[in-house]
Amino acid sequence: MLLPITDQEFTEETAEGLVMAQFWAPWCGPCRMQSPILEQVSENYVDQIKFVKINVDENPETSQKYGIMSIPNMILLKDGELVENIVGLHQKEQLKMILDKHL
């Protein structure tokens, strides 16, 4: 499941453990394609990785902090620190390979 969060919640929600954050916008076609793929991937990591999503239009501070210039964009954080930046549309197997190397 992708938990929608805001700029104000981002630091708290990503402070501990592994967190995959999807940066998206409702008008972004590739984002609408990426979300269901990420939902499927999240089912394989229920107890290992938290999955969140943040709307870049409504939450510009976090997007600026991480230098998000294009969407879809996902970042993987470990205990609040950036460990992976994933730009563009990715398929399920590609995402699983990226996530598995950080477990």
Catalytically active residues, by annotation: 28, 31
Is 24 within 8 Å of 34 (Cβ atoms)? yes
Judge contact between 31 and 72, C-beta under 8 A.
Answer: yes
Show Cβ contacts of residue 63 under 8 Å, excluding neighbours closer than 6 positions.
Answer: 23, 54, 56
The token pair at 97 is 């390979």
List, as one string, the DSSP characters of 2-47.
-EE--HHHHHHHTSSSEEEEEEE-TT-HHHHHHHHHHHHHHHTTTT
